[in-house]
Chain A
Amino acid sequence: GQSLEQPSEVTAVEGAIVQINCTYQTSGFYGLSWYQQHDGGAPTFLSYNALDGLEETGRFSSFLSRSDSYGYLLLQELQMKDSASYFCAVRAMDSSYKLIFGSGTRLLVRP
């Protein structure tokens, strides 16, 4: 089976940096993705790590270490609009490319 664990909630101050961790137990996967979801909205793609290391996209960075079964999403220069739920997901090791999601981390950005 496959399971992904994330902290349920994180609070940070506007302008700060926050790291959201994701640990996983899986027999194998192709890559680790991160999605953002505002209340009532659609999950939207943030980043994808196919290989170990750091991927940077603007204020967001994502990291993967397969040897440690661990990844994280780093959000810099936090803005109020970053308040949302963040999900890590692995891409299943079959031809479907379906995603297996963690239970999500709710980020609250305070002024």
Chain B
Amino acid sequence: DTGVSQDPRHKITKRGQNVTFRCDPISEHNRLYWYRQTLGQGPEFLTYFQNEAQLEKSRLLSDRFSAERPKGSFSTLEIQRTEQGDSAMYLCASSSTAGVAKNIQYFGAGTRLSVL
């Protein structure tokens, strides 16, 4: 169990550019979540996958955002035409669906995005 890993840890981009982040969840976890966190706030839910199916998207996820989990393992989050308001920490979390463990989400250390 190597935990949830996210890549890159930091991304600096210019407004209008596209960026893509990757998340590798804990291998046996079939639920995967993306959250966004701004300074001094708690994480806010963006979207959720069960296996390869994207089952829910928050209203926070505008048309410029897209997420995939093609084989039910790693996931990518892409932001097109970035805006300064997209600057935040993007967190990925995974969880099991079995027993009490389904109530625990394991988070990666996040990708910090800065849009200049």
Check: A43 CB closer than 8 A to any chain B CB. Answer: yes
Q: Are B43 and A99 in contact (CB under 8 A)?
A: yes
Q: What residue of chain B has the Cβ atom nearest to residue A8's Cβ?
A: B40
Check: B87 CB closer than 8 A to any chain A CB. Answer: no
The proximity string for B residues 105-116 relative to A, scoring 1 for CB distances below 8 Å and 0 otherwise, is 111111000000
Within 8 A of A (CB), among B53-100: 55-56, 91, 93, 95, 100
What's the minimum C-beta distance from B63 to chain A, rounded to whole angstroms?
A: 21
The number of residues on chain A lying at the interface, defined by a beta carbon within 8 Å of a beta carbon of chain B, is 27
A97 cross-chain contacts in B, Cβ below 8 A: 31, 48, 95, 102-103, 105
A100 cross-chain contacts in B, Cβ below 8 A: 45
* Stretch in A44-52, A57-65, A66-74 touching the partner: A44-52
Contact A43:B33 (CB < 8 A) given known A96-B48, A96-B55, A102-B42: no
Contact A48:B103 (CB < 8 A) given known A97-B31, A99-B45, A103-B40: yes
Chain B residues touching A, range: 20 to 34
The proximity string for A residues 26-49 relative to B, scoring 1 for CB distances below 8 Å and 0 otherwise, is 000011010100001111110010
Check: A87 CB closer than 8 A to any chain B CB. Answer: yes
Q: Are B42 and A101 in contact (CB under 8 A)?
A: yes
What's the minimum C-beta distance from B22 to chain A, rounded to whole angstroms?
A: 15
Q: Are A96 and B91 in contact (CB under 8 A)?
A: no
Check: A110 CB closer than 8 A to any chain B CB. Answer: no
- B residues adjacent to A (C-beta < 8 A): 4, 31, 33, 35, 40-45, 48, 55-56, 91, 93, 95, 100, 102-110
Jot down 22 A-B pairs with beta carbons below 8 A, ordered by A.
A31-B103, A35-B107, A42-B4, A42-B91, A42-B107, A42-B109, A43-B93, A45-B104, A45-B106, A89-B42, A91-B103, A94-B56, A96-B56, A97-B31, A97-B103, A98-B45, A99-B35, A100-B45, A101-B43, A102-B42, A103-B42, A104-B41
Q: Give the top 3 A-B pairs by smallest Cβ distance, nearest first.
A: A101-B42, A42-B107, A42-B109
Q: A43-B107, A48-B100 are in contact. List 10 more A-B contacts (CB 8 A).
A: A44-B107, A48-B104, A89-B42, A97-B95, A98-B45, A99-B45, A99-B105, A101-B42, A101-B43, A103-B42
